[in-house]
Homo-oligomer: A and B are copies of this chain.
Amino acid sequence: MASRKPTIADVAALAGVSVAAVSKVVNGKGGISAPTRDRVLTAASKLRWTPSAAAVALRSAKTRAIGMVAKRSPDLLSADPHFTLLISGIEGELSPLGYGLLLHIVGEEPSAEEAAYRRLADERRVDGVVLTESRIGDTRFELLRTLGVNTVLIGTPWRADPVPSVQATGLDSGVRAAVEHLVGHGHRRVAYVSGPEDRVHTLYRRRVFEDALAAHDLAPSHTIVSDFTAAGAVDAIGKLLADRRRPTAVLFANDSMAVAGMSAARRLGVDVPGELSVIGHDDLPLGELVYPQLTTVRQDLVGLGRAAARVLLASLGEVADAPTAVRPPELVVRESTGPAPG
């Protein structure tokens, strides 16, 4: 028979003080002498008392939880552990401070995402939210601003906007290094398979890609807009290889597509990296699993999550505003790239 959960009053009674005193002790406010504090603390641990999250939330208007909504179908979500890594990073910062992460996964229906944010805000379930995947024309900041919720964006805002955001330093270094790597191996026809065009990072990377090529007086041989799915990648590879002036190397917007594309190429009898070099983006574990192992642009996703959490916690006054560094993207050369054929 588990007895009723103890309340602050029980602790106060056991310690022989008022409830206010207990509250002050656990919240580290001053005005309590050391001996009293000890009595309170031992009473609390004796009763295994922890403040009720609901009561604290109601009284102090702080829920000690932050929210995140992932907009993706289960399939895509599980094919691409992008979110999972971000969440790991976020959780790593949240846990030690006793913060929780309230996660919502919504499908692609247009209004579902907004509804989820709205609910989080209206019900006052979270103190802040983290946004991922900056999109062109993104209205989520507006929404959350009017809802009065602390927000941090992982990625680059789509326009000059004072929204707090985190991103890696030297953001272009990865894609740039990838291009140098390919050009250095004699590749002159390099294609790019991007993600959906409304993603800010898609456009950014594409520009970096083109700039880097331009520095060598080259231009992309092909640019295909895809959708992060395996089918999309297979499709793209089909198109690329069908061209009589086919590329000798292709850069994909993420690792899942790169792996799918690579497999599709091999299935068509095209050797990787012999006839076609392939580079991914993110450096998911997946890339090391496959054969040949994937050359890719590593992104510090866990670090990004961590940094985002810190920014949010800082704006909530929980931590000093020390921005954690996010490692710049870097090229990881493995087996899927090699000298240009011919």
Chain A residues within CB distance 8 Å of chain B: 2, 5, 48, 50-55, 57-58, 63, 65, 74-75, 77-79, 81, 83-85, 87-89, 91-92, 95, 98, 100-106, 116, 119, 122-125, 146-148, 230, 256, 259-260, 262-264, 266-267, 284-286, 288-291, 293, 302
Contacts and interface: CB of A to CB of B under 8 A. Distances in A.
A339 to B, nearest CB: 20
Contact of A291 (B5, B267, B293): B267
Contacts of A289: 79, 230, 256, 259-260, 263, 286, 290
A143 B78 CA distance: 31
DSSP class of A's interface residues: helix, strand, loop or mixed?
helix
Q: Which 3 A-B pairs have the closest CB atoms?
A: A263-B291, A78-B81, A54-B57
8 contacts: A53-B123, A54-B63, A55-B58, A65-B125, A78-B84, A79-B284, A83-B84, A87-B105
A99 to B, nearest CB: 10
Contacts of A75: 285
Contact of A102 (B2, B84, B102): B102
A286 B285 contact: no
Contacts of A57: 53-54, 57-58
A178 to B, nearest CB: 21
Contacts of A267: 291
A106 B91 CA distance: 8
Contacts of A116: 95
Count copies of this chain in the complex: 2
A238 to B, nearest CB: 14
Given A88-B105, A103-B103, A286 B125 contact: no
A102 B259 CA distance: 32
Nearest to A264: B291
A74 B105 CA distance: 19
B285 A78 contact: yes
A293 B259 CA distance: 12
A146 B48 CA distance: 13
A198 to B, nearest CB: 23
Given A54-B124, A286-B286, A88 B77 contact: yes
A91 B79 contact: no
Nearest to A149: B2
Contacts of A87: 103, 105
A2 B144 CA distance: 11
B285 A263 contact: no
Nearest to A116: B95
B284 A263 contact: no
Nearest to A49: B122
A267 B89 CA distance: 33
A5 B147 CA distance: 9
Which of A50, A53, A57 has most chain B Cβ within 10 Å?
Answer: A53
A50 B119 contact: yes
Given A74-B85, A98-B119, A104-B100, A285 B124 contact: no
